[in-house]
């Protein structure tokens, strides 16, 4: 979904909230319409878009100018919060869309954060370690007045990791001597004040979003034939039936970085007789094997290759992996039950939506499915678990990391996993109940509705809506 599509959905949901009897305790329909119209204008638009050019002296090309962004969408729920991505295709519009999604995600999961996002227009694979360090530090120098533990708290995202975040924290501390700095970023290394399990948290939550739906939520209603969301209910039942017959549920995963590789690991470690990862793909290749791929061997390989999957027979042999090599996009249309999208935006769209074979699609990445594809697949009976629901594990654990900087308590990894799972399951229960037990809105619409109810209530209580 692009920014315009996100904004269009916000508009639709706000319009339906204005028709909800007694919403915000307002019985007068005209007044409710005015109040919801004001909330819509605030949430559709962005508080602040900051753009700068980072100038870095490179080994090969002399001084280069790199566009960089920090977009602060809304902070009615709390301090701005959102990752920084390093990508050669990042644009201002994309960063703004991602910032809006952060506001909605934090509100949906009841986190005390607003929404923001950052972006730097570089391909991190094509710069040296020294250049990456300089770019990271300059990002902080340029946005130092806008970020901070009680203002805007960035984290890693696509193309960034705990090493980059540790450098950024170091630079923030240098620029702000004597000021609190530990909570200025989340996703730090554990050695630098991060929490155990932050790196794995998004992938873990992505796996939980569909495994909990199939293995726990659907189980509650196993014998109930009267679930109003008929087609999607049949989809879940077919998957549960597979498990009952001792057949594995086949998972394909696009993206084998932080989110994709951890969600693959979670699937195969959960129960070997339940989930099998039959395909994984990255920017260069898809690996497919109908009996399942050796995920641990792939992780060992990518740890040594700098993140890339094997792309030829020699590398497959070196990694000890049996797989067929296919084009990068083949993972999207692979023969599977569940498709986890854990790479980038705009992957399932008008041109390929009719070739998708999965009956459950999970948005580990932000905005990987277009509105048209969402509607088409939903009408066919697919269950689509949207980004703001599925990939919140990272920001939930980021909240715990940020909170840890305010207290003298270091969370154990078990505490982190338990707190994250509890928070996500509470939201899953709300969303899955609303979605499956009525037949009114798509799951994405349902998530937006719950989220916008929360944001509008806060705006109203804060006296911002007239
Ligand atoms: P990452 O950089 O660790 O991995 C990205 C993966 O996507 C790599 O395997 C890369 O090869 C692949 N990829 C990149 N471009 C591709 C393309 N055109 N086609 C196919 N594959 C491509 O990033 P990550 O942290 O795993 O994040 C993945 C997605 O999840 C992003 O969209 C990010 O915004 C989202 N997300 C991440 C987090 C987090 O905590 N890291 C939290 C929420 C959402």
pLDDT tens-digit profile of 24-71?
999 999 999 999 999 999 999 999 999 999 999 988 889 999 999 999
Q: Distance from first CA to last CA of the chain, Å, rounded?
A: 30
Those residues with Cβ within 8 angstroms of residue 370's Cβ, 6 or more apart along the chain or in another chain: 1, 2, 5, 346, 348, 349, 350, 353
Those residues with Cβ within 8 angstroms of residue 2's Cβ, 6 or more apart along the chain or in another chain: 93, 97, 345, 346, 367, 370
Ligand 1, pocket-test mutation among 105, 108, 194, 255, most atoms within 8 A of CB: 255
Average pLDDT over residues 382-405: 96
Query: CA dihedral in degrees (339, 357, 239, 285; nearest 10)?
Result: -40
CA gap 383, 236 in Å, rounded: 8
Ligand 1, pocket-test mutation among 97, 99, 124, 259, most atoms within 8 A of CB: 259
CA of 306 to the centre of ligand 1 (A): 14
H-run or E-run covering 173? helix 162-175
- Choosing from 374, 391, 408, the residue where a domain stops is 391
Considering only CA atoms, which residue is closest to atom 30 of ligand 1?
365
Residues in the chain: 466
Max alpha carbon distance in the chain (Å)? 71
pLDDT of residue 60: 86
Total domains in the fold of the chain:
2
Cβ of 427 closer than 6 Å to ligand 1, yes or no, is no
CA of 133 to the centre of ligand 1 (A): 20
Question: To the nearest whole number, what is the mean pLDDT of the chain?
Answer: 96
Average pLDDT over residues 167-184: 96
Nearest ligand 1 atom, CA 201: 40
Q: Is 322 a catalytic residue?
A: no
Cβ of 344 closer than 6 Å to ligand 1, yes or no, is yes
DSSP 180: -
CA of 211 to the centre of ligand 1 (A): 21
Cβ of 257 closer than 6 Å to ligand 1, yes or no, is yes
Average pLDDT over residues 428-443: 95
State pLDDT tens for residues 76-117: 999 999 999 999 999 999 999 999 999 999 999 999 999 999
pLDDT of residue 61: 87
Considering only CA atoms, which residue is closest to atom 15 of ligand 1?
283
Same domain, 204 and 68: no
CA of 365 to the centre of ligand 1 (A): 6
- Choosing from 185, 211, 230, the residue where a domain stops is 185
Collapsing DSSP to helix, strand or coil, 37 comes out as helix
User: Is residue 421, in this structure, part of any structural domain at all?
Assistant: no
- Choosing from 361, 391, 421, the residue where a domain stops is 391
CA of 259 to the centre of ligand 1 (A): 7
User: Is residue 2, in this structure, part of any structural domain at all?
Assistant: no
Same domain, 204 and 226: yes
CA of 3 to the centre of ligand 1 (A): 19
pLDDT of residue 253: 98
Kindly list the distances between the CA atom of residue 203 and the CA atoms of 210, 259, 363, in Å, as whole numbers in the listed order. Answer: 12, 4, 11
User: Is residue 41, in this structure, part of any structural domain at all?
Assistant: no
Average pLDDT over residues 110-130: 96
Tell me the pLDDT band of 72, cut-offs 50, 70 and 90: very high
Look up the domain containing 67 and give its range.
46-185
CA of 294 to the centre of ligand 1 (A): 20
CA gap 207, 216 in Å, rounded: 13
Average pLDDT over residues 291-299: 97
Same domain, 213 and 137: no
Nearest ligand 1 atom, CA 155: 40
User: Is residue 463, in this structure, part of any structural domain at all?
Assistant: no
CA gap 68, 66 in Å, rounded: 6
Cβ of 431 closer than 6 Å to ligand 1, yes or no, is no
Same domain, 283 and 382: yes
Residue 236 pLDDT > 80: yes
User: Is residue 401, in this structure, part of any structural domain at all?
Assistant: no
pLDDT of residue 69: 98
Same domain, 169 and 246: no
**HSE-up (13 A, CA, CB side) for residue 279:** 31
pLDDT of residue 463: 96
Same domain, 165 and 61: yes
CA of 255 to the centre of ligand 1 (A): 6
CB 393 within 8 A of CB 417: no
pLDDT of residue 377: 98
Considering only CA atoms, which residue is closest to atom 19 of ligand 1?
283
Same domain, 220 and 243: yes
Find the catalytic residue in 117, 138, 188, 274: 117
DSSP 348: B
pLDDT of residue 65: 96
State pLDDT tens for residues 324-380: 999 999 999 999 999 999 999 999 999 999 999 999 999 999 999 999 999 999 999
CATH number of the domain that 124 lies in?
Answer: 3.40.50.10860
Collapsing DSSP to helix, strand or coil, 216 comes out as helix
Surface-to-core class of residue 340, CB atoms within 10 Å of its CB (0-12 exposed, 13-18 middle, 19+ buried): buried
User: Is residue 308, in this structure, part of any structural domain at all?
Assistant: yes
pLDDT of residue 251: 98
State pLDDT tens for residues 402-420: 999 887 788 999 999 999 9
CA gap 282, 254 in Å, rounded: 6
Same domain, 141 and 229: no
Same domain, 218 and 305: yes
Cβ of 394 closer than 6 Å to ligand 1, yes or no, is yes
CB 404 within 8 A of CB 428: no
Kindly list the distances between the CA atom of residue 438 and the CA atoms of 239, 431, 451, 457, in Å, as whole numbers in the listed order. Answer: 21, 11, 18, 24
Residue 272 pLDDT > 80: no
CA gap 156, 163 in Å, rounded: 9
Those residues with Cβ within 8 angstroms of residue 197's Cβ, 6 or more apart along the chain or in another chain: 204, 397, 413, 416, 417, 420
Residue 226 pLDDT > 90: no
Cβ of 390 closer than 6 Å to ligand 1, yes or no, is no
Same domain, 181 and 211: no
Collapsing DSSP to helix, strand or coil, 355 comes out as helix
List, in sequence order, every residue forming a beta bridge with 254; answer none if it has no partner. Answer: 281, 341
Cβ of 255 closer than 6 Å to ligand 1, yes or no, is yes
Same domain, 159 and 252: no
Cβ of 299 closer than 6 Å to ligand 1, yes or no, is no
User: Is residue 452, in this structure, part of any structural domain at all?
Assistant: no
Cβ of 346 closer than 6 Å to ligand 1, yes or no, is no
User: Is residue 398, in this structure, part of any structural domain at all?
Assistant: no
Same domain, 172 and 269: no
Cβ of 165 closer than 6 Å to ligand 1, yes or no, is no
pLDDT of residue 409: 81
pLDDT of residue 1: 84
CATH number of the domain that 256 lies in?
Answer: 3.40.50.720
Of the chain, the percentage scoring pLDDT greater than 70 comes to 100
The dihedrals phi and psi of 70, each to the nearest 5 degrees, come to -135, 120
Nearest ligand 1 atom, CA 392: 43
Average pLDDT over residues 442-455: 97
Radius of gyration for the alpha carbons in the chain, expressed in angstroms and rounded:
22
């Amino acid at each position: 979904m692009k920014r315009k599509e996100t904004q269009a959905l916000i508009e639709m949901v706000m319009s339906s909230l204005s028709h909800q009897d007694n919403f915000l305790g307002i019985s007068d329909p005209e007044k409710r319409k005015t109040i919801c119209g004001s909330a819509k204008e605030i949430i559709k638009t962005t508080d602040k878009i900051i753009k700068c050019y980072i100038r870095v002296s490179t080994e090969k090309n002399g001084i280069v100018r790199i566009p960089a962004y920090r977009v602060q969408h809304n902070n009615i729920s709390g301090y701005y919060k959102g990752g920084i991505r390093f990508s050669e295709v990042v644009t201002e519009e994309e960063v703004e869309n991602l910032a809006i999604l952060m506001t909605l995600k934090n509100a949906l999961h009841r986190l005390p954060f607003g929404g923001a996002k950052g972006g730097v227009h570089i391909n991190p694979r094509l710069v040296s370690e020294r250049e990456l360090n300089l770019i990271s530090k300059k990002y902080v120098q340029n946005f130092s007045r806008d970020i901070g533990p009680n203002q805007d708290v960035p984290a890693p995202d696509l193309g960034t990791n705990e090493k980059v975040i540790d450098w950024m924290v170091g630079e923030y501390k240098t620029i702000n001597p004597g000021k609190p700095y530990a909570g200025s970023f989340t996703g730090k290394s554990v050695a630098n004040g991060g929490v155990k399990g932050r790196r794995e948290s998004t992938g873990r939550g992505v796996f939980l979003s569909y495994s909990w739906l199939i293995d726990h939520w659907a189980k509650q209603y196993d014998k109930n034939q009267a679930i109003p969301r008929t087609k999607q209910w049949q989809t879940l039942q077919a998957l549960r039936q597979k498990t009952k017959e001792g057949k594995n549920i086949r998972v394909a995963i696009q993206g084998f970085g932080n989110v994709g590789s951890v969600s693959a690991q979670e699937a195969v470690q959960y129960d070997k007789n339940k989930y099998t990862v039959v395909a994984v793909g990255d920017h260069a290749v898809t690996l497919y094997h109908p009996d399942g791929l050796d995920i641990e061997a792939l992780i060992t390989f990518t740890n040594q290759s700098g993140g890339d999957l094997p792309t030829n027979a020699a590398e497959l042999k070196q990694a000890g992996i049996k797989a067929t090599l296919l084009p990068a996009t083949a993972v999207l249309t692979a023969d599977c039950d569940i498709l986890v999208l854990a790479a980038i935006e705009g992957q399932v769209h008008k041109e390929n939506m009719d070739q998708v074979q999965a009956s459950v699609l999970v948005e580990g990445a932000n905005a990987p499915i277009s509105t048209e594809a969402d509607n088409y697949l939903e009408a066919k009976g697919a269950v689509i678990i949207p980004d703001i629901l599925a990939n919140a594990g990272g920001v939930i654990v980021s909240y715990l990391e940020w909170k840890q900087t305010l207290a003298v308590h270091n969370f154990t990894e078990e505490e982190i996993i338990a707190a994250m799972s509890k928070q996500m399951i509470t939201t899953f229960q709300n969303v899955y109940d609303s979605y499956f037990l009525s037949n009114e809105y798509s799951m994405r619409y349902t998530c937006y509705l719950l989220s916008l109810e929360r944001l509008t209530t806060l705006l109203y209580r804060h006296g911002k809506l007239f």
